[in-house]
Amino acid sequence: MGDFGVVADVSAIVVERLNRALDGLSAEPPRAELHDLSEPVQLDVPKLTVFLYEVAEDPTSRNRPPVRSLPPDAPTSRKPPMALLLRYLVTPWGGDQMTQHRMIGRALQAFYDDAVLDGEELTGSLAASTDALHVTLAPLTLDQKSWVWYAIQKPYRLSLNYEIRVVNLDSLDVSALRLVTSRTVNGVPSP
């Protein structure tokens, strides 16, 4: 489970996975980097930008029960973690069209072959957890993709849209539970 840094941790995992996929693509391999696309992309080498453009609550994971823990001295109940769905825009920049298409191909291949990120691939607050991140190519129409580019006020570029779920963000809402020490049945205390 993740603390407040879990969104940043997932973004770092995505960039690292893409950088491993881009190694060996050419003599000077392209690099993946986080970028919000508000400024021009520096094109010293070809790049794949990773832009987190939406964070949403995953509707398939709502209404989970509270998480209970029973340490010997003070049992607690915690609100269930918030299940997040992160949407990323992966865009090639620099080099010629063939290089950009190869970068797109490698990104597709990397997340198709490794669509579930878990175990040792998880770092930061997700390290050593049992969480698994499911990576899915988002089926957006051309109009929907155009709206994403319009929203960031940039001309449309060939790009991939990925969804990553379920990213669990731990709640800070913890309450102590009182242990039952006695009970009364029909007005008579039980032994």
Read off the pLDDT of each residue in 42-55 and give the average, rounded to a whole number. Answer: 92
Whether residue 180 is contained in a domain is answered as no
Whether residue 183 is contained in a domain is answered as no
Count of C-beta atoms within a 10 Å radius of residue 30:
25
Whether residue 73 is contained in a domain is answered as yes
Residue 23's pLDDT is: 92
Whether residue 164 is contained in a domain is answered as yes
Residue 188's pLDDT is: 65
Could you tell me the CATH number of the domain that includes residue 35? 3.30.2000.10
Whether residue 179 is contained in a domain is answered as no
**Span 8-35, pLDDT tens digits:** 999 999 999 999 999 988 778 899 999 9
Query: What residues make up the domain containing 36?
Result: 6-172
- pTM for this structure? 0.82
Total domains in the chain come to 1
Name residue 104's beta-bridge partners: none
> CB-based burial of residue 39 (10 Å sphere; 0-12 exposed, 13-18 middle, 19+ buried)?
exposed
Whether residue 184 is contained in a domain is answered as no
Whether residue 166 is contained in a domain is answered as yes
Whether residue 36 is contained in a domain is answered as yes
**Span 53-96, pLDDT tens digits:** 999 998 877 777 777 777 667 777 777 788 899 999 999 998 88
The kind and range of the H/E element at 120 are none
**Span 130-183, pLDDT tens digits:** 889 999 999 888 898 889 899 889 899 999 999 999 888 777 766 666 666 777
